Amino acid sequence: METPARLIVDLGRLDGGRTSHEEGLLDQALLELDDLEQLRPAGPLAYCLDAELLPGGELLVRGTLTLRCDCVCSRCGGDFAADFGVDDYCETFEVQGLETLDLTDSVRESIILALPSYPLCKEDCKGVCLRCGQDLNAGPCACGREGRESPWAALDALTPEA
């Protein structure tokens, strides 16, 4: 089965006319992240949402969004995979007179805001030495002691000499 490209709530089919649980996968192509070098969706966008019709004619939608990405670390250039998500998606929509509600755009905006501009393989990634290119996560390089070539060199200075 093809992964749907849009997330649409059928307002005529709310349980008891009031609530609905929406859970599934959305085609990652809808995120239009193709031009990002450092972050590529590795699979569909997963959503798990509860919708509730409020007395005023608004639909309250709450839940979580998750997207697995293949990333390139901004500091060391290493490849890694990570899940990014929104734990507290919460939006209300005016739905009076509507038969369906399209949540696609709202969900897309929300998950895109949750993606990092500069993905890191780990929070304290030391990056590579800008002079010799060694991955400083593997240990200090030969030239690492003297210079200011890496903004993370200061971290090395905190480590006692072996």
Name the minimum Å distance from CB 117 to Zn ion: 15
If one asks whether residue 126 binds Zn ion (CB under 5 A), the answer comes out as no
Name the minimum Å distance from CB 86 to Zn ion: 24
Q: What is the DSSP letter of 28?
A: G
- Choose between 40 and 62: whose C-beta lies nearer to Zn ion: 40
Q: What is the DSSP letter of 17?
A: T
| Binder of Zn ion out of 29, 54, 132, 138 (CB under 5 A) | 132
Name the minimum Å distance from CB 81 to Zn ion: 13
What DSSP string describes 72-109? E-TTT--EEEEEEEEEEEEEEEE-TT-SEEE-HHHHHH
If one asks whether residue 70 binds Zn ion (CB under 5 A), the answer comes out as no
If one asks whether residue 76 binds Zn ion (CB under 5 A), the answer comes out as yes
* 57 Rama sector, left if φ>0, alpha if ψ -120 to 50, beta otherwise: left
If one asks whether residue 131 binds Zn ion (CB under 5 A), the answer comes out as yes
Chain centroid to CA 9: 23
| Binder of Zn ion out of 75, 108, 128, 140 (CB under 5 A) | 75
| Binder of Zn ion out of 61, 69, 95, 125 (CB under 5 A) | 125
- Choose between 48 and 72: whose C-beta lies nearer to Zn ion: 72
Q: How many residues lie near Zn ion (CB under 5 A)?
A: 11
158 CB contacts (<8 Å, ≥6 apart)?
none
Question: What whole-number distance in Å separates Cα of residue 38 and Cα of residue 140?
Answer: 25
Q: What is the DSSP letter of 149?
A: S
If one asks whether residue 73 binds Zn ion (CB under 5 A), the answer comes out as yes
If one asks whether residue 40 binds Zn ion (CB under 5 A), the answer comes out as no
Helix (H) or strand (E) holding 20: strand 19-26
Q: For binding to Zn ion (CB under 5 A), which residues are involved?
A: 73, 75-76, 78, 121, 125, 129, 131-132, 141, 143
